[in-house]
């Protein structure tokens, strides 16, 4: 297969057609383009939407190293800030874990995902990369073909198609790539029975730590995003619309669950964004189906309880870029054959820790029942050993920042 020639690519063909311009799709595109592999990104929404969609923002050290390795870290170096402390608030009081001094001694970098996506897009376009906005992939009818097709609805709403050598499905959990998986493909889905109301408040962070509050009313979380914006999460009744609670009720629940009366007031500010998240896991296995390869949320959905989603997306994009470059530029298919197993190793480790965090932070969902007391006692015991056992703290720190 050819290296990217200087002659313009025939219409609607690329060696790698990438579905979706999130962290996974855009990092993959940057790395392939830089490696001289002919690729094109198809994104359903507009550039403005992609660059302003507020989602994650907690980058693992491995993610920062990957972005630095590829010269894509200028934005996060300038505007990101390091974060290395968690604070747990329970009815037994509060305790802090300086996880930057535990485990491997590493910490997160807080950098809003929309800023990361904007950086990746700018780098890609400045380098002459191809991307088609408002182009919705509909299906990959022949994933096992050596020249797979992607059927699309173009920006004018007309049906069209793309021809590729490989298709990278980075279009999320509800995208065309997942819809095109061969019948019988394993999908490991788990609904954790917990729902969060995710909030962005135009207010400075109230703690210099990630705040986890365990309260009879339910969980509450506090995460810095920027010096002026704070991400909050509140455990929420499943099926309740995002706008069901007034701002006063939200502030009241945050103060109550974060025990502001005991630990100091929270900075309140207008809620600028609300979203309801049902905590779920949904892993596709394997991640390769002939010429169709999955990465990011298309590969595995993970609950936000341990901030792994965007970090897994970056890890998988780099693995896939190396594998596709080896195959297309050097004719070596080894890495591509190993991609699925390698990525799934990281995915399942992240799913394991994410589930551990869900069980730590939440009472057993549903009305109290015989098991509840057993579950609650396990939870208190986990918290107690996290507060007192250095070995447990090191284990926590390594998994909390790891990916």
User: Known catalytic residues?
Assistant: 83, 212, 304, 308, 400
Q: How far apart are CA 57 and CA 223, in angstroms?
A: 9
Question: x/- string (CB under 6 A) for ligand APR, residues 285-304?
Answer: -----------xxx------
Binders of ligand APR: how many residues, by CB under 6 A? Answer: 28
Of 38-46, 58-66, 78-86, 263-271, which part binds ligand APR (CB under 6 A)?
A: 38-46
Q: How far apart are CA 138 and CA 108, in angstroms?
A: 37
Beta-bridge partners for 210: 86
Q: How far apart are CA 147 and CA 68, in angstroms?
A: 34
Q: What are phi and psi of 30, to 5 degrees?
A: -60, -45
Q: Give yes or no for residue 115 binding ligand APR (CB under 6 A).
A: no
Of 1-9, 40-48, 64-72, 370-378, which part binds ligand APR (CB under 6 A)?
A: 40-48
Nearer to ligand APR, 169 or 211 (CB): 169
Of 37-45, 140-148, 181-189, 233-241, which part binds ligand APR (CB under 6 A)?
A: 37-45
Nearer to ligand APR, 80 or 102 (CB): 80
Of 49-57, 249-257, 264-272, 360-368, which part binds ligand APR (CB under 6 A)?
A: 49-57
SS (HEC) of 292-354:
EEECHHHCEECCHHHCCHHHHHHHHHHHHHHHHHHHHHHCCCHHHHHHHHHHHHHHHHHHHHH
Q: How far is the CB of 117 from ligand APR (least distance, A)?
A: 7
Nearer to ligand APR, 22 or 211 (CB): 22
Q: How far is the CB of 301 from ligand APR (least distance, A)?
A: 7
Q: Give yes or no for residue 176 binding ligand APR (CB under 6 A).
A: yes
Q: Give yes or no for residue 310 binding ligand APR (CB under 6 A).
A: yes
Q: Give yes or no for residue 56 binding ligand APR (CB under 6 A).
A: yes
- Residues written for the chain: 403
Nearer to ligand APR, 107 or 300 (CB): 300
Nearer to ligand APR, 114 or 145 (CB): 114
Q: How far is the CB of 163 from ligand APR (least distance, A)?
A: 16
Nearer to ligand APR, 266 or 343 (CB): 343
Binding-site member from 61, 80, 129, 172 for ligand APR (CB under 6 A): 172
C-alpha R_g of the chain: 22
List the interface residues with ligand APR, window 1-30 (CB under 6 A).
Answer: 19-25
Nearer to ligand APR, 245 or 400 (CB): 400
Q: How far apart are CA 316 and CA 302, in angstroms?
A: 14
Q: How far is the CB of 18 from ligand APR (least distance, A)?
A: 9
Dihedral sign from CA coordinates of 279, 297, 78, 306: positive
Q: Give yes or no for residue 170 binding ligand APR (CB under 6 A).
A: yes
Q: Give yes or no for residue 346 binding ligand APR (CB under 6 A).
A: no
Q: How far apart are CA 316 and CA 225, in angstroms?
A: 24
Binding-site member from 115, 136, 253, 364 for ligand APR (CB under 6 A): 136
Q: How far is the CB of 41 from ligand APR (least distance, A)?
A: 9
Of 78-86, 234-242, 258-266, 308-316, which part binds ligand APR (CB under 6 A)?
A: 308-316
Q: Give yes or no for residue 137 binding ligand APR (CB under 6 A).
A: yes
> Which residues contact ligand APR by CB under 6 A?
19-25, 42-45, 50, 55-56, 113, 136-137, 170-172, 175-176, 296-298, 309-310, 313
């Amino acid at each position: 297969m050819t290296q990217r020639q200087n002659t313009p690519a025939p219409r609607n063909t690329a060696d790698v057609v990438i579905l979706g311009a999130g962290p996974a799709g855009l990092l993959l595109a940057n790395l392939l383009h830089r490696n001289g592999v002919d690729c094109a990104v198809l994104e359903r929404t507009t550039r403005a939407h992609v660059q302003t969609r507020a989602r994650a923002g907690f980058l693992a050290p491995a993610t920062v190293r990957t972005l630095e390795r590829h010269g894509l870290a200028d934005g996060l170096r300038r505007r990101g800030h390091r974060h290395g402390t968690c604070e747990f608030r329970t009815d037994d009081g509060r305790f802090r874990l300086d996880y930057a001094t535990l485990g491997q001694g590493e910490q997160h970098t807080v950098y809003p995902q929309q800023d990361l996506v904007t950086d990746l897009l700018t780098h890609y376009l400045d380098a002459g990369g191809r991307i088609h906005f408002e182009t919705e992939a509909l299906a990959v009818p022949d994933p096992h073909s050596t020249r797979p097709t992607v059927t699309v609805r173009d920006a004018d709403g007309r049906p069209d198609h793309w021809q590729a050598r490989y298709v990278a499905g980075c279009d999320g959990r509800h995208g065309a790539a997942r819809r095109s998986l061969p019948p019988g493909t394993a999908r490991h889905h788990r609904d954790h029975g917990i729902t969060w109301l995710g909030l962005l408040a135009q207010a400075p962070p109230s703690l210099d730590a990630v705040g986890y509050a365990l309260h009879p009313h339910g969980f509450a979380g506090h995460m810095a995003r920027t010096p002026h914006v704070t991400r909050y999460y509140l455990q929420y009744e499943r099926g309740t619309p995002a706008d069901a609670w007034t701002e006063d009720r939200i502030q009241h629940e945050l103060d109550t669950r974060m025990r502001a009366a005991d630990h100091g007031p929270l900075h309140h500010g207008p809620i600028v964004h609300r979203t309801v998240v049902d905590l779920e896991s949904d892993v596709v296995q394997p991640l390769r189906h002939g010429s169709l390869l999955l990465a990011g949320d298309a590969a595995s959905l993970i609950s936000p309880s341990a901030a792994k989603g965007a970090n897994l997306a970056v890890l998988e994009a780099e693995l896939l870029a190396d594998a596709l470059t080896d195959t297309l530029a050097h004719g070596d298919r080894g890495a591509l054959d190993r991609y699925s197993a390698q990525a799934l190793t990281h995915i399942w480790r992240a799913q394991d820790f994410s589930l551990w965090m869900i069980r730590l932070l939440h009472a057993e969902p549903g009305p109290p029942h015989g098991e509840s007391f057993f579950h609650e006692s396990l939870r208190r015991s986990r918290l107690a050993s996290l507060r007192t056992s250095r070995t447990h703290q090191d284990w926590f720190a390594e998994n909390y920042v790891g990916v």
